[in-house]
Amino acid sequence: MNPVNTPNEAMAEARHELIFVVEDEPEISRLICRTLQDYGFDARHFATGQDLLGALRSIRPSLCLVDLGLPDIDGMELVSRLWKTHDCPVLILTGRSHVADRVVGLETGADDYIVKPFEPRELIARIRVILRRYARQAEAEPVAAQRRARFVGWCFDLDCNQLTSPAGQSVELSVSEARLLTALLQRPNRILTREQLAGRSDLDPLDRSIDVRVSRLRQKLEQTPASPALIKTIYGAGYLFSANVAWE
């Protein structure tokens, strides 16, 4: 992990990514927003989950920082909705320190999980790791002329996350499922580790979110999900997409 710059150095970078902060405790929200601004980020605060969802209809931030103890909606439910319907990274910042909460949060779709009280510099470092990961994923996407993939009768359109079965039926994908399918299609017939599919090298051994997403994708792609023919598990190594892929 790269060192965290001082606030002055960070301001010189002129990053200005927009981060949405969902926190109902005024003192904590002020601390978080001040820390983000000191390190060159733009921060926008929301006291409720519904306020956040309303803002997401018109603005896409670089990252959503979510507390789990919200007054109007369960934090895990909010993370799940962000994972399913919004192409936006999520970092959970909460007072819940149990391992079970951390596992559920990551499986639900969060990119990282930090327990309060937190060290501001660690928060900034974790945010930067997530943003770098998503930037690398964007750079790795096929060129604009190649935005549709065909494989064993299926068709996947990256521009609208539209998956069409060999029978011509539309199959709904969540944002995270579409991102996972894209990663598999970009490197077919190769073993990909869970870390590669997650886009991070520091994946926690307890983080089973990739396995959950693979399972959900299999339910939609495979005729027999229990004996997958397309997305194969390579025990001790990762996953392999076993099909030829044509891009157009």
Q: What is the mean pLDDT of the chain?
A: 84
Give residue 116's Cα distance to chain centre.
21
How does residue 141 score in pLDDT terms, banded at 50, 70 and 90? Answer: low
The dihedral over CA atoms of 119, 120, 125, 126, expressed in degrees to the nearest 10, equals 70
Collapsing DSSP to helix, strand or coil, 153 comes out as coil
Q: Which of 188, 189, 193, 229 is nearest to 211 (CA)?
A: 193
pLDDT exceeds cutoff 90 at 105: no
Question: The tokens of 21 are what?
Answer: 């902060």
DSSP character string of 37-102: HHTT-EEEEESSHHHHHHHHTT---SEEEE-SB-SSSBHHHHHHHHHHH----EEEEES---HHHH
Q: What is the pLDDT of residue 99?
A: 87
- Which of 118, 131, 102, 99 is closest to 19 using CA atoms? 131
pLDDT single digits (tens) 42-98: 999 999 999 999 998 888 888 999 999 999 999 999 998 888 777 678 999 999 988
Strand 246-247 and strand 154-157: the pairing is unpaired
Could you give the domains of the chain?
7-139 (3.40.50.2300), 148-247 (1.10.10.10)
State pTM to two decimals. Answer: 0.60
Q: Report the pLDDT value the prediction gives residue 13, as an integer from 0 to 100.
A: 42
pLDDT at residue 177 above 80? Answer: yes
State yes or no: pLDDT of 225 exceeds 70. Answer: yes
**Run of H or E residues at 163:** strand 162-164
Per-residue tokens: 205: 């051994």
pLDDT at 205 over 80: no
Given a cut of 70, whether residue 124 has pLDDT beyond it is yes
Kindly give the pairing relationship between strand 63-66 and strand 90-94. Answer: parallel
CA 237/CA 183 separation, integer angstroms: 16
- The SS3 call for residue 177 is helix
To the nearest 10°, report the CA torsion of 167, 170, 173, 175.
Answer: 130
